[in-house]
Amino acid sequence: MSTFFIAGTDTGVGKTHATCALLHALRATGLNACGMKPVASGCVETAEGLRNDDALALQAASSAPMPYEWINPLALRDPLSPHLAAAHEGVEIRLAPLSEAFGRLIDIHDAVLVEGVGGWLVPLSRGLMASDIARQWQLPVILVVGMRLGCLNHALLSARAIATDGCRLVGWIGNRIDPAMAAVDENLATLRQLLPAPCLGVLPYGTPPQLAAAQLDLSAILE
């Protein structure tokens, strides 16, 4: 069983894009793989209920269609930090319903990728952080680093927080979100030197996940 928590250095660094690329790469090895977005804010009302674009992308990139409620058990309307979006709806985010959906997915898949929300320390409710999902479910962490100015500080702080919380960083992915970023190669070299986990690959700007998957080397996490 290969389960991983996909964390990001910040909001908007391409966690979903990287997770979808990872799903395609895992499927290419013959694994039955599925993505999960336990908590999603910024959902829209549809005929089927609230839906989130990131969760739908994970559902589409998975090996087989799973019920949306398993992929995204908690969908919130407002595009805010989850604890605020939940408060606006009179909802308290609890881990138990999320764990129940996660259990259904791991029962029928070789690999499940659990995408976080925002960065590592986003609050979900009083006393519950996004990082608690990885910690409580004992998931090794893959960090998505959005390649833009400031990424070194964000990546190193995230890696330190992951370790402080008792979680294991097993790899990181560079995601080219700023095509005009200066000194990309030098920044990547610095990250390779300073981050305490191997680089699984660098995703080119504007490349669809199914093609970007070819840039990933999963040998370090599938040994």
Binding residues for substrate: 41
Amino acid at 177: I
Residues marked as binding for Mg(2+)?
A: 16, 54, 115
Residues marked as binding?
A: 12-17, 41, 54, 115-118, 175-176, 204-206, 210
Residues marked as binding for ATP?
A: 12-17, 54, 115-118, 175-176, 204-206, 210
List beta partners, residue 49: 46
- Both tokens assigned to 28: 């290419």
Tell me which of 37, 109, 148, 154 is the catalytic residue.
Answer: 37
Q: What is the 3-state secondary structure (H, E, C) of the chain?
A: CEEEEEEECCCCCCHHHHHHHHHHHHHHCCCCEEEECCEECCCEEECCEEECHHHHHHHHHCCCCCCHHHHCCEECCCCCCHHHHHHHCCCCCCHHHHHHHHHHHHHCCCEEEEECCCCCCCEEECCEECHHHHHHCCCCEEEEEECCCCHHHHHHHHHHHHHHCCCCEEEEEEECCCCCCCCHHHHHHHHHHHCCCCEEEEECCCCCHHHHHHHCCCCCCCC
153 assigned to active site: no
CA angle 156, 213, 32 (to 5 degrees): 105
Q: Which residues are catalytic?
A: 37
